[in-house]
Amino acid sequence: MLSYESIDLYREDGFLFADPLTEKETDLLREQADREFLRDSPGRMLEKDGFTVRGVHGSHVVNSTFARLVRHPKIVTPATQLLGGPVYVHQFKINAKKALTGDVWPWHQDYIFWNLGDGMRRPDVVNVAVLLDEATDLNGPLLVLPGSHKCGSLEVARRTTVGGDGAWRSDISADLVYAIDAPLLSELTETTKVTAIKGPPGSILLFDPLLVHASGVNMAPYDRRMILVTYNRVDNPLGEVPSPRPDFLAARDNTPVRPLDPGADLFA
């Protein structure tokens, strides 16, 4: 359980490190992540080069390790605590950020995609990031703007993109449709300083769906893999939208996650 101090810190900064996974658990996740990267599926995204894996979505539905991970007390318990009620998995993804070829995630807030794209009504969401590799300044770490979640949903122009059935693809590409531009980022950095989320494998970071964040390219000779589990409150289900995104991007089944027993891990 998170302490009151930790919760205050989360409310203030919009992010918080929680208790890490063990080395053995992280090894297993890394192994399973690589397996998912190899499996061709609709939820697998490639980089612009057309062959490097950028990430894969929805693995918690098809892979028993990840199915267990979203029920792990170190992951789901702090998320439930921060949201104050039962949660379900809105989105699950593993970002690959491959050595030398892993591309940018431009500066953005998550909520606008879920609000406008999926009909989510309130930002009653927590993202849980699990670092599978050490994150350093060199390998495109997650970058955050502490406190930026307090700005609420920022007005950003929708980038023109190809419409139609596959329009959701640009939501998870290096050309995000709701990216924050340099003038707005410059304004935001007048009162807060970009912080790189660095840490060893197994580190767990909770962050707010309104927190402004990004990541650069990976200039290191090894991959920088990261899992992102997005929990939404069960009483904040998605509304109707004209062209719903695929289920692996926006789950419409809001069955609550049943946490593992306290003290359980990925193995037992």
Q: Give residues in contact with a copy of itself (CB under 8 A).
A: 99-100, 104, 106-107, 137-138, 140, 143, 181-183, 185-186, 189, 194, 196, 214-217, 219-222
Q: In the complex with a copy of itself, which residue's Cβ is closer, 136 or 254? A: 136
Contact residues for 234 (Cβ-Cβ < 8 A; gap 6+)? 85, 86, 87, 88, 254, 256
What residues does 108 pair with on adjacent strands? 213
Q: How far apart are CA 186 and CA 78, in angstroms?
A: 32
* C-beta closer to a copy of itself: residue 81 or 192: 192
Least Å from the CB of residue 227 to a copy of itself: 22
**Closest distance between a copy of itself and the C-beta of residue 148, in Å?**
13
User: Closest separation between CB of residue 16 and a copy of itself, Å?
Assistant: 22
Shortest reach from residue 214's CB to a copy of itself, in Å: 6
**Choice between 218 and 230, CB closer to a copy of itself:** 218
Q: Which is nearer to a copy of itself, 19 or 137 (CB)?
A: 137
State the nearest-atom distance from the C-beta of 97 to a copy of itself, in Å.
12
The full length of the chain comes to 268
Q: Which strands make up the sheet holding 87-95, listed edge to edge?
A: 15-18, 204-207, 125-131, 226-233, 87-95, 53-57, 44-46
Sheet with strand 142-144: strands edge to edge: 105-108, 213-215, 142-144, 195-197
Smaller CB distance to a copy of itself: residue 11 or 198? 198
**Smallest separation (angstroms) from a copy of itself to the CB of 141:** 9
Nearer to a copy of itself, 49 or 261 (CB): 49
> Looking at beta carbons only, is 167 or 217 nearer to a copy of itself?
217
Q: How far is the CB of 7 from a copy of itself (least distance, A)?
A: 29
Please choose, from the candidates 142, 135, 103, the residue with its C-alpha nearest in 3D space to the C-alpha of residue 224: 135
